[in-house]
Amino acid sequence: MSKMLFTQVNYDLNGLMSDVRMGQIGLPDIQREFIWKNIKVRDLFDSMYRGYPVGYLLFWQNGLGGGHRVIGDDAKQVIPQLLVVDGQQRLTSLHAVLNRKPGMRNYKKEYIEIAFNPLQERFEVADAAIRRDKSFIANISDLWAGETDLFDVTDSYLEQLRATREVSIEEEKRIKKAIGRLSNLISFPFTALVLSTDIDEEQVAEVFVRINSKGITLNQADFILTLMSVFWDEGRTELEEFCRLARKPSEGVSSPFNHYIKPKPDQLLRANVGLGFKRARLKYVYSILRGKDLETEEFSDERREEQFDVLKNAHGRVLDLQHWHDFWKAIRQAGYRNGKMITSENNILFTYVMYLIGRTEYKVDEHDLRRLIARWFFMVSLTGRYTGSPESSMEFDLA
């Protein structure tokens, strides 16, 4: 029998949240931004309330020092010893609701408010109408806030409901039972599988890819971003920061903000790969960056470092603000004034690769290059060159 690389640990929700608050449980840098919609958070609490299983958690007992992100934005008391490999969305959702803490979505902090109707035993995402509806507890976070007394919450709810209609003795019993049941979710059981300290970060990244590919389907760009988190985290951090800054106007400081696109890390990664490796298909790039020789099937640390150097070189040129903003001048020269006129972001990104090749490798005069890129972009937009089979078309153009 092969050696088991994990152990099973049982928690209740209260113990789990306690470890999160203390900082005992953290997030490795292979995790992505919190992306769950509020309706999924609502469904999570509904499943727990009805006693349904909500999946297991996968942790890694890293045995390392600091340098890992935490769940929530408050200060932690200890260095994370358990890193979340699978279950980030659930833990972040639970932490946000039970502790009234904001989660991150689209690079912005957002509070999650879930409402509960005790009579109907129904959960909803709170909105203006539900907040006015006295049949709902507008925010279930109130049940677990600080020194909140369950009886006070129940009495306050009944008082407000009675102000709008009659409440029978039978309804009162049902209400008290439902609120008590909701409050007791703090004892909901969770099972965690804890990966051994014997495995390294690359193996954990591989586990992350395998586990998550069965849920949220990861594409090749996700695999490479995961690998970057292990071997070149500052590169991935720079991609994410560039994308965050590109989403809002800067205040007198040079930034990547523009009126055409709000790029995502995986899109800029494609530009990096196109510029550095002259490839549009990412199928083999993940293996190449792991140091794999595609002919001998052998892995080499030296080869991996060499390929990452290629990626780093391209990365610097892609994120260069002078290159970035000069490129938009070519797009404006083509007659495009804002994002509403852009039919495909692939057209933008692949044309940006062509611009960078011309500027940084062939040293084309900027005036001539801008005119050529403007004509090229007009052509690919008019013909939809990168909309049908974008990778195949770009591979042909790069060749």
Residue 211 lies in a domain: no
Residue 55 lies in a domain: yes
Does 18 lie in the same domain as 157?
A: no
CB distance 247 to 104 below 8 Å: no
Residue 204 lies in a domain: no
17-20 long-range CB contacts below 8 Å, 24 or more apart? Answer: 17/94, 17/95, 17/98, 17/99, 19/82, 20/71, 20/72, 20/91, 20/95
Does 235 lie in the same domain as 352?
A: yes
| Predicted local distance difference test score (pLDDT) of residue 26 | 74
| Predicted local distance difference test score (pLDDT) of residue 221 | 79
Residue 387 lies in a domain: yes
| Predicted local distance difference test score (pLDDT) of residue 189 | 96
How many domains is the chain partitioned into structurally? 3
Does 118 lie in the same domain as 102?
A: no
Residue ranges of the alpha helices (H) in 70-195?
88-98, 128-132, 150-162, 169-183
Bridge partners, residue 116, by sequence: 123, 137
Cα(297)–Cα(307) distance, rounded to whole angstroms? 16
Can you give the residue range of the structural domain that contains 34? 6-107+186-195
Name 33's Cβ contacts closer than 8 Å, sequence gap at least 6.
Answer: 104, 105, 107, 240
| Predicted local distance difference test score (pLDDT) of residue 72 | 53
Closest CA to 2 of 191, 198, 192: 198
Residue 91 lies in a domain: yes
Does 318 lie in the same domain as 175?
A: no
Does 375 lie in the same domain as 248?
A: yes
CATH number, position 88: 3.90.1530
Q: How many CB atoms lie within 10 A of CB 242?
A: 19
Does 256 lie in the same domain as 160?
A: no
| Predicted local distance difference test score (pLDDT) of residue 62 | 61
Does 154 lie in the same domain as 10?
A: no
Phi, psi of 16 (to 5 degrees): -65, -45
| Strand 82-86 to 25-27 pairing | parallel
Does 272 lie in the same domain as 355?
A: yes
3-state SS assignment for residue 115: strand
pTM over 0.95: no
Does 268 lie in the same domain as 336?
A: yes
Does 143 lie in the same domain as 67?
A: no
134: Cα separation from own chain's centroid: 35
Cα(202)–Cα(180) distance, rounded to whole angstroms? 45
Phi, psi of 27 (to 5 degrees): -115, 125
CB distance 289 to 307 below 8 Å: yes
Does 270 lie in the same domain as 133?
A: no
| Predicted local distance difference test score (pLDDT) of residue 213 | 53
Last residue of a domain, one of 163, 195, 227: 195
Cα(49)–Cα(125) distance, rounded to whole angstroms? 15
CB distance 82 to 26 below 8 Å: yes
Closest CA to 212 of 105, 89, 107, 103: 89
Ranges of residues in the chain with a pLDDT under 70 are 1-2, 27-35, 62-79, 104-107, 200-202, 205, 208-209, 211-219, 226, 230
| Predicted local distance difference test score (pLDDT) of residue 33 | 58
Does 365 lie in the same domain as 304?
A: yes
| Predicted local distance difference test score (pLDDT) of residue 81 | 78
Tokens of 117: 């109707």
Residue 209 lies in a domain: no
